[in-house]
Amino acid sequence: MPATTPALDLAADVTTLTAAVCDIPSVSLDEAVLADAVEAAVRATGRLDVTRIGHTVVARTDLGRAERVVLAGHLDTVPLTADPVNLPTRRVEGADGEVLWGRGTVDMKGGVAVMLRVLHELAEPSRDVTYVFYEGEEIDSQYNGLLHVQQQAPHLIGDADFAVLLEPTDARVEGGCKGTLRAEVSTKGIAAHSARPWKGHNAIHDAAEVLARLVDYRPQTREVDGLEFHEALNAVRVEGGIAGNVIPDRCVVTVNYRYAPSLTEADADAHVRQVFAGFDVEVVDNAGGARPGLHLPAAQAFVEALGLPVVAKQGWTDVARFSAMGVPAVNFGPGDPNLAHMDDEQCPVHQYVDCEAALLRWLA
């Protein structure tokens, strides 16, 4: 590692450590310096097996415990802004107390700092723990560090009984996540001069039936492991037309189906094709969801230790990558997700403290 690697003091309080992690810029594809700092701090403990894959650091205890859990958080952030300048961080008084302000304070370096504090404080946790500090979450999937671990060394994370992704949840527990499918529903017409439309067939007009089916569609709410996931099927894009004086010969309605994690990707594919039977349907993206696994002992112990209500994650997160490997997962971390990526990104400092204390209760 270069001599200029900044030092992270894992003995510092969690808010100070969050500020230090945030103040090492790590916009996606530029995580090397922060990854070096995390790796150096983790190796300095002298009690974890550490693996580096690209700019992803995986650290594992090996205590022979009956259960293994994963704590995971991404190192990268979205780009910085110049107005306002959102680094370096600063502590200021907010409407409800002190906040830490700056890029990454919500998404999700507070979660990374909580992981580092837990790693430092618990030399002998009650469960074996795999800590994953990964790159490339904020950009295209091909750069995602969790994906790289899955592809190159799946044994490092695939042997876990349960996983916690420390994405911002406003310090609530959000179980699992929904799957997401995008499909292009196409209509075919015959091009003609718009002055003589009877010579052709208008594909855009035919798309009215696609839209009508969406208007009439009644999404389901499915209970999965005791949580309610609200499904949704919506048009997100309509494309068609050749020129202002031409009857269009093709129209494409792009639809997005958000489906409960009890459905497989194949189930979701079949459902969308059934809804739009009679039309040409091309599924262009399909990422399955993640079951929260709240019936499992590790998950039950987690919820009991935190003493917080659990709600379903209505979006899609990287917990789905764990689910695909047979590892149930939840989201739990400091910061209001509505402030992620905002110019005035900020988090109440008590949420860092509360999340650290909750994980220590669970693992101590």
Helix or strand holding residue 121 (H, E):
helix 109-121
Residues 6+ apart with CB under 8 A from 44: none
Specify burial of residue 11 (Cβ count, 10 A radius: 0-12, 13-18, 19+).
exposed
Q: Indicate if 137 belongs to the active site.
A: yes
Q: Give catalytic status of residue 36 as yes or no.
A: no
Q: Which of 76, 107, 249, 356 is catalytic?
A: 76
Cα–chain center distance at 318: 4
Beta carbons of 127 and 142 less than 8 angstroms apart? no
Tokens (6 digits) for 86: 């959102």
Catalytic residue among 137, 174, 206, 249: 137
**Which helix (H) or strand (E) covers residue 105, if one does?**
none
Query: What is the gyration radius of the CA atoms in the chain, in angstroms?
Result: 24
Helix-strand-coil split of the chain, %, nearest 5 = 30, 30, 40
Question: CA torsion sign, 356 to 361 to 363 to 364?
Answer: positive
Q: Which residues form the catalytic set?
A: 76, 137
